[in-house]
Amino acid sequence: MGGRLAAPATVGTALVLGLAAAAPWLTFVFTIALAKGLAVLGILLLLRAGQVSFGHALYLAVGAYTVAFARPLAGDVLVLLPLATAVATLVGVVVGLFVARYRDIFFGMLNLAFSMVVYSLLEKLYAVTRGTDGIRVDRPTIAGVALERVPYEWTMLGLMLALAIGLGFVARLFLASPLGQALPAIKARETRLEFAGISARRVLLVAYVASAALAGLGGGVIALTTLHVTPLIAYWTHSGELVFIAILGGGGAVLGPFLGAVAFELVRVYAAAAFPDAWQMILGAVLLGIILFASRGLWGLYEGLMARLGRRA
Amino acid sequence: MSGPLLSARGLSIAFGGVRAADGIDLDVAAGEFLAIIGPNGAGKTTFINMATGYLRPQTGTISFAGETITGLAPRAIVRRGIARSFQIPQLFTEHTVLENVALKVAARRGFWHGFRPLLDAATTRAALAVLDQFGLGDAAFARATELNEGTRKLTDIAMAVALEPRVLLMDEPTSGVASAEKFAIMDTLVAALRARGVTAVFVEHDMEVVERYADRVAVWSQGRILASGPPAAVLSDPAVLREVIGVEARHVGGGGDARA
């Protein structure tokens, strides 16, 4: 990924693969975590502009249900994932044209509203969506090859790692471009951007559509990993989870969302196993600790550590 | 080109009962440095806001290079070549000085295409050229939040100049600046604007600055233009002094009659 991100990206990939090899059930956990990381990467783009969406589970759901609906017609992961991304992009444009007019609490709440409308439609339109029963997704082929469960899950994890690194790289280029640099300018002084001849609304729309596409792709991967899609994926707690992970991981670099997502899923899985009644409290305490003592998130902790090591060397 | 570059005819706007512009007619010739003076509330900033599209006049028209621009959005007007700076500097606080100016260079030269970095070679060179002209080369990598007021003012104006405007409207370029610094700042920015052939309109309260740097001065009061002409003549007009400048008269330098 160039520069200071190449080393942590390589180490992270090796850690994920190594841990998954040691404890095979983690293959599933990591794939889901990294898929959420994609959606969180989208959240990060919006955070750069100072905007928080409390409704991005909508795009997870759009991606996941696109896979579920299209699965009987298209049998390959390499068709289903681009399709999920495309549909989420389209929905992102339509919703984005509306929400990009608003800022701050209105932006956040409108996103929440859209996601909850979709959630209730998914739940109520039983004839189409099978309601809370959800839709089972038959395991598709990958590049034309039909795989058994274990190799399938490994291939999905490998694919997801490649997507995380590739799209992280693209996001990094985007954030360094004039358009990406205009996002913090929206946060600081939106009117000055207008007086430079730039439409802040259009800048935010581009970031919003990109975030929708990333979340849609993530939702598609989740559907292809769990092989079962329910309306719960659109529920607001999932949207909140994405924002939670964004803060946990930190917005300083494009690896933050993936670091945060993996840490989040691991804490959740292990805390839920060890303290079945208190795991949500543990997650809450972790977030509180991060906000109080490491406001730049886990990535900020990592950077601080590297800076200290660098000074000592 | 013959005829004025920027021209206002019959501009009026009222906020509640206050007439901030009441039939303003104003022409600015290409290359001219026009100072606008007058007491607070005379409608000076309102004029800048109308000329840049931030406010829409209730009646009247503004034209630029022969084209009517009344009612256009700010970003449409700036693309035609009218830029502005602000009385209170409006910097992008999360960026460095160089990035602040580079964003403006990029805004002018293609913002939307590609994944080129903002600070690519061409944009960086153009931004540094502007910074050098404003004597801000040393501050290029300082964050916008770390600057003193004079540097903030210059950065704010440099950002507007990076848009390569034909007309620059400046709202009190020396306000908030230590008086020892004001001539240095004006010398720098006037030289930069003249070198670039930029026409300038600036709102100013400091009569020493007006005398020294304006080609022409327009005196505003209660939304009207009371007098307009060369600074020496206008600023020594007892009627102008009495009616408009009032308490500011003590700032007038030079001729003793101005203090009368």
Q: Domain residues of chain A, as ranges? A: 3-237
B198: containing domain: 6-89+165-259
B121 part of contact set with chain A, CB < 8 Å: no
Q: Name every chain B residue with its beta carbon within 8 A of the beta carbon of A190.
A: none
B170 part of contact set with chain A, CB < 8 Å: no
Q: How far is CA A233 from CA A55, A115, B168, in A?
A: 11, 10, 53
Q: Give the closest-approach CA distance of B91 to chain A in angstroms.
A: 7
Please determine, for residue B245, whether its predicted confidence score (pLDDT) is greater than 80: no
Return the pLDDT at A294. 81
Distance between CA A87 and CA A66 in Å, rounded?
7
**Which residue out of A192, A194, A254, A296 would a mutagenesis test of the B interface target, given it has the greatest number of B Cβ atoms within 10 Å?**
A192
pLDDT mean over A8-31: 90
Number of domains within chain B: 1
Distance between CA A51 and CA A116 in Å, rounded?
19
Return the pLDDT at A106. 95
Q: Give the closest-approach CA distance of B159 to chain A in angstroms.
A: 9
Signed CA dihedral, B54, B60, B64, B67: sign only: positive
Count of other CB atoms within 10 angstroms of residue A169: 15
- At residue B244 the predicted structure's pLDDT band, cuts being 50, 70 and 90, is low
Whether residue B107 and residue A197 make contact (CB cut-off 8 A), yes or no, is yes
> Number of A:B CB contacts under 8 A?
85
pLDDT mean over A223-248: 92
Please determine, for residue B107, whether its predicted confidence score (pLDDT) is greater than 60: yes
A210-225 in b/e burial notation, b at 16+ Cβ within 10 A? bbbbbbbbbbbbbbbb
In a domain, B95, yes or no: no
- At residue B259 the predicted structure's pLDDT band, cuts being 50, 70 and 90, is very low
Q: Give the closest-approach CA distance of A181 to chain B in angstroms.
A: 7
Q: Are B205 and B173 in contact (CB under 8 A)?
A: no
Q: Give the closest-approach CA distance of A170 to chain B in angstroms.
A: 8
- At residue A3 the predicted structure's pLDDT band, cuts being 50, 70 and 90, is low
Write down the residue that tokens 């309109």 correspond to.
B201
Q: What is the CATH number of the domain that holds B193?
A: 3.40.50.300
Please determine, for residue A268, whether its predicted confidence score (pLDDT) is greater than 50: yes
- Closest chain B residue to A184, measured at CA: B94
- Closest chain A residue to B117, measured at CA: A177
Bridge partners of B37?
Answer: B219
Distance between CA A232 and CA A111 in Å, rounded?
16
B112 part of contact set with chain A, CB < 8 Å: yes
Please determine, for residue B31, whether its predicted confidence score (pLDDT) is greater than 80: yes
Whether residue A195 and residue B94 make contact (CB cut-off 8 A), yes or no, is no
pLDDT tens by residue, B32-68 = 999 998 888 788 889 999 999 899 989 999 999 989 9
In a domain, B124, yes or no: no
The pTM for the full model equals: 0.88
Q: Name every chain A residue with its beta carbon within 8 A of the beta carbon of B78.
A: 195-197
> Residue A194 is nearest to which of B75, B91, B95, comparing CB atoms?
B75
Q: Are A181 and B103 in contact (CB under 8 A)?
A: yes
Q: Give the closest-approach CA distance of A146 to chain B in angstroms.
A: 37
pLDDT mean over B118-127: 90
What angle in degrees, to the nearest 10, is found between the helix axes of A57-70 and A104-124? 30
